[in-house]
Amino acid sequence: MVLSRLPIAVAPAQQETVASYLTRLANLHGLPLRELWEPISLPRPGSRRRDVLADRLAAVTGHRRDHLVRALPELHPSPGWSALRHQPQPGCPRCDARHPGGPVTHLLPHHRYVCTRHRYWIGPPDIDQPATALGDRAGLDDIIRAQRHHLRLVRRHGPAASFDAVLTGFLFCGHLWADRCQDDTAVAREWTRRADVLIPVGTETTTFSASRLFAAVYPDAVRFAALIASPTWRHRAAGDADAQRQFTTELARRLHHHPAPGGDAVAHWMMFDCWRPPSRPDTTFPDTRRHGAIHPPKIPAHSRERHFRSAYCFAGTRRGGGAILHHRHIRSVLIREWSPRMDGIAATIWASQTTSRTWPSRQLVTGRSDRPG
């Protein structure tokens, strides 16, 4: 079947998925999606999925091939999947409003959390979670500033180091916010204040989202990341007692936090992780069920149940660290390539904040000669 050129010229959004773009085209032209999809794609061997051909899509839409390849990562011959999130998600609704035909779904880079122009929190992908309007609500300007600081980190240290550093910052914040002993600290009170604006008390069943809890800690996660991404400070964190003291003093100055003598997530990172290379994404988009699929897979029932359990738990405690620690967004730094595999998520979370002797020492893992400093 050969499909003639479509009469309505609709350009793709930047970093849009092919399925999202074709769905919008089908909606605008009143076509069944499969009738549009099949003439411009080839079946993937041994699979029900299909790969769209850029030349055929260009002939149907009237847009130049190079323009489509720049906008749609799936058409690029070497898109660099590790630089993009593995899960498609909505972007800023005001940015996407100029793209007709239905919702726009993007494959966003790891460093994109906020639309600073329209003041929307985009955040990590979450269940049925559109972008959250920050607007002019009091006390949320620091979330906007954190995105600008995050972009400076990417320019200064590169995307790989910034990816690892910001997710490690989220990991630290999650542990601190989950600890009842930290409830009276200034930073935990600030997270609760932001959460009260984003998820008002009494509305948790309708407004709760783990993505909004990430927004509550995002400014401080980026502050952590400024130290974690810096080769100079990582070297000190991996150094002798004096160098480590310099690191913890600087950490306390920036975030008013001292690593606990008995061990916490920061102490664990200093002992086991800071001298390693940055952790990489554990999953990329081609590894998922959405790649090459016409329709997005349904959200599993257990994922929705977990979402509602997290909402009720947050309603009772107003402490969001547990939801952050259990969210897949930080999996790459919660379970690192060199981390011993634990029995269940609870044990994994516990292991990520302990310096206990039951945890294998780094001398046993690689030998002291690998340790910098």
pLDDT computed for residue 46 by the predictor: 80
Task: With a cut of 80, say whether residue 123 has pLDDT above it.
Answer: yes
Rounded CA-CA distance 282/328 in Å is 10
Rounded mean pLDDT, 50-72: 94
Cβ-contact 71, 11 below 8 angstroms: yes
Please tell me the predicted confidence (pLDDT) of residue 364. 36
Q: What is the distance of C-alpha 244 from the center of its chain?
A: 29
Which pLDDT value is given to residue 371? 47
**Which region among 15-19, 98-102, 311-315, 369-373 has the lowest average model confidence (pLDDT)?**
369-373
CA count, 13 A, side-chain hemisphere, 15: 21
**How many Cα atoms occupy the beta-carbon half-sphere of 353 within 13 Å?**
21
> How confident is the model over 320-324, as a mean pLDDT?
95
Lowest mean pLDDT among 61-75, 145-159, 298-312: 298-312
pLDDT at residue 258, rounded to an integer: 67
Q: What 8-state DSSP symbol labels residue 199?
A: S
Average pLDDT on 320-326 reads 95
Cα Rg of the chain, angstroms:
22
CA distance linking residue 193 with residue 75, whole number of Å: 43
* Every domain of the chain and the residues it spans: 18-108, 120-370
Give me the DSSP letters along 73-142. Answer: GGGSSS--GGGB-SS-EE--HHHHTTS-SS--EE--BTT--EETTTTEE--S--TT---EE-TT-TT-HH
For 172-195, write each residue's pLDDT tens digit.
999 999 988 888 888 899 999 999
Cα of 301 vs its chain's centroid, Å = 22
Structure tokens at 152: 């400076």
